[in-house]
Amino acid sequence: MGRTMERNRGETAIRCLEIAVHPNTKDDEVIAAVNGFRRTADGAPLRQFCLEFAGPGSTAIAAARWKERLDRLDWENLELRRKIEESEAGRTAALHQLQEADQRAQDIAEDLFAAEHRAETAEQRLAEFQGAYGRISGGLSHENLDLRRELEAARRNLAQPMHEPVPPFQNILNAALQRPDPARTSAPIPLSNRPWTA
């Protein structure tokens, strides 16, 4: 019974305020409505009448709505954190791939430098070989020319009739006289040192 009376009193007080703030209410009626609210409220604050008029069910509904909002915000926060973690993981993977690509580029640059050095060394050795080959080839050409000349001279000499040198008759005679003759005495026959003449 008391609860009903309190609610009726709150409704009356709220109704007085509605009349006071209505745009069609005259000034003297506004003053009367405000005085009516004061008498009905009997010193109670307006907030108390608003809560009583709304009832306990409205507070539960508001709390449920706030909880729903908080739950949705928590879920959105979790989703945002998951996306941030995925983004960080992707950024870390991209950074790792970039570091690997940079290392491969450095390795390729070192290999290219080594290949260029080997190519320069090979070109230098080829130039040295070509120079040595040119010198050897020039020397062989001169030697080949000299050998051809000697060969031509030998061929010309072979084409001419060959005359063996004839030893002097005195040498033949001396050799024949120095042979032992069984019919003669063992004492050698003295020969004159004068040259023989025919």
Report pLDDT for 187: 53
> Can you tell me the distance from the alpha carbon of 198 to that of 175, in angstroms, rounded to the nearest whole number?
18
Q: Is the pTM of this model over 0.85?
A: no
The predicted pLDDT at position 163 comes to: 57
| 172: enclosing H helix or E strand | helix 169-177
Residue-level pLDDT at 13:
81
Mean pLDDT by 10 residues, the chain (198 residues): 65 83 86 87 77 61 73 83 89 91 90 88 85 73 77 73 62 72 54 52
Tokens representing residue 101 in the block: 């690509």
What one-character-per-residue DSSP string does 92-158 give?
HHHHHHHHHHHHHHHHHHHHHHHHHHHHHHHHHHHHHHHHHHHHHHHHHHHHHHHHHHHHHHHHHHH
pLDDT of residue 36: 87
